[in-house]
Structure 1
Amino acid sequence: MAVNHFPSVMIITETRIGGDRATRICEDLPFDGFFVTDTIGYAEGLWLQWKKEKVDIFMLSSTEQEIHATVKLLLGDFNEVLSSEDKFGGRNINLNRALDFKECLDSCSLLDLGFSGPKFTWSNLRQVSDLILDRIDRCFANPSWRLLYPEASVTHLPRVFSDHCLVLLELSKAPPASINRPFCFQTMWLHHPGFLDVVREAWEHESILSSAIKLFTNKATLWNKTMFGNLFARKRRLLARINGT
């Protein structure tokens, strides 16, 4: 997670490691801010790590199972599902507990941020006949936070050495990578009287074949944008006018 996705904040749950050993491990990770909780024997344990140049986090309180900080977001393993759609296999869900969970979220005006990727975030790692899958790891935020980060998205990543999958929260979408589209000759160019001038200018200025072809493709691409523009956008606008929309 830290190497492939470069998060500003990373939370690791059920570490089963606390004390000085947890501190030493956190010091070797690429975060200069961290907070670890104690374990209960060889169970529980939470690590909260962050990059100080990216975010400001102030600790309020903590237990072996909870960390309260000033990040205005609620996320983690809630160990509870909201509906039968969040569960595969095993016993039926406890409707009273699910309703209590939903009532708590509604009273706090919290919105589920949704997700992409695998539907379930926890597995009992058994064979298919005894397999149980749950969606118990979630991200919630209030409406004001959602308005502040309208492009925020949650992705369920593959499980790695754990019964829980990794959950990645991104506050904004990465800019699309530029794509060098291959040159495509358009037959309609042959019917335009100005196209022969484009061809002539390219071949008259270059005597080397490869250079002439490169110059022609650049000039033809620019000429096409100037003369015809975005034909797909123009087609959509014309169809919309025809349909009266």
Structure 2
Amino acid sequence: MLLGDFKSILSQDDKHNGDLISNYETSDFREFCSDLGLVDLNSTGCYFTWTNGTVWTKIDRVMVNIHWFSLQQMTHVHFGTSRAFSDHSPATVQLGIWEFHGKQNFKFYNMWATHPQFLEIISQHWSLDIYGTHIYILCNKLKQLNGALKSLNNLHFSHISKRVARAEKTWMILSFFYRMTGIMVIS
């Protein structure tokens, strides 16, 4: 893993406003990344990581090579918004296998609505008699409904999230391989 302010961009897409960038200006950095097999790590947050208030560029990066993916490490970087004390976006890197053992946020899956018992489950839990403030009633009904929808998911749509995550990981590795070699893998 290599991270930092590279003071260079890979393409014109990494710059907003200001003078156009020529291939000559980006070729050294592109060749450096190509020689080492470096690609940007998946990220969220700000795409442009540096600004002078008029021009925005992506010069701060967290990069890894194919060997990093072979370690089967799930890694993610988040670029926050720049603060008053810096014109760069702070980067937070999350390392390790993404297994969350605490409370998880509720996720609604559209496929649940296709199940014949979905409306019945919603109706049963929404008609519960709960007393208190409006927000207390809403929170309790949602909490009760959460358990019922999780049961529906486990019984009829088990482990779809894990299957999607596995497919996304495979796609990420194959697309990285294709970018590095130019050889398309068909599976």
Q: TM-score range by the shorter chain?
A: 0.5 to 0.7
Q: Give the direction of change, closer, same or farther, for the CA distance of 1:124–1:115 in structure 2 (3 Å limit).
A: same
Tell me by how many angstroms 1:148 deviates: 1.6
Q: Would the alpha carbon gap of residues 174 and 100 (structure 1) be closer, same or farther in structure 2, given more than 3 Å must change?
A: same
Task: Give the equivalent residue in structure 1 for 2:82.
Answer: 159
Q: What do the CA deviations read for 1:182-209 (whole angstroms, capped 9, x no partner)? A: xxx9747xxxxxxxxxxxxxxxxxxxxx
Q: What whole-Å deviation, never above 9, does each CA across 1:91-138 have from its counterpart, x for those lacking one?
A: 11132121221111111122221321111000102xxxxx10000001
Q: What SS does the corresponding residue of 1:100 show, helix, strand or coil?
A: helix
TM-score (structure 1 length as normaliser)? 0.42
- Amino acid paired to 2:33: L
Higher RCO (C-alpha 8 Å, min separation 6)? 2
- Structure-2-length-normalised TM-score: 0.54
CA distance in 2, matches of 1:164, 1:179: 31
Determine the C-alpha separation between the residues in 2 that align with 1:81 and 1:147. 27
- Name the structure where helix makes up a greater proportion of residues: 2
SS at match of 2:70: helix
* Unmatched runs of 5 consecutive residues or more in structure 2: 108-117, 122-143, 160-187
Aligned residues: 121
Aligned-partner SS, 1:116: strand
Letter paired with 2:89: C
Q: SS where residue 97 of structure 1 aligns?
A: helix
Q: Would the aligned equivalents of 1:149 and 1:171 in 2 still touch at CA under 8 Å?
A: no
Q: CA deviation at 1:159?
A: 1.0
Check whether the contact 1:121–1:134 (CA below 8 A) recurs between aligned residues. Answer: yes
Rg larger for: 1
Structure 1 segments of 4 or more deviating over 4 A? none
CA RMSD of aligned residues (A): 3.3
Indicate whether 1:230 and 2:158 are aligned: no
Q: Deviations over 1:124-161 (max 9, x none)?
A: 02xxxxx1000000111221122225310111111112
Residues 1:229 and 1:76: Cα distance change in structure 2 (over 3 Å)? closer
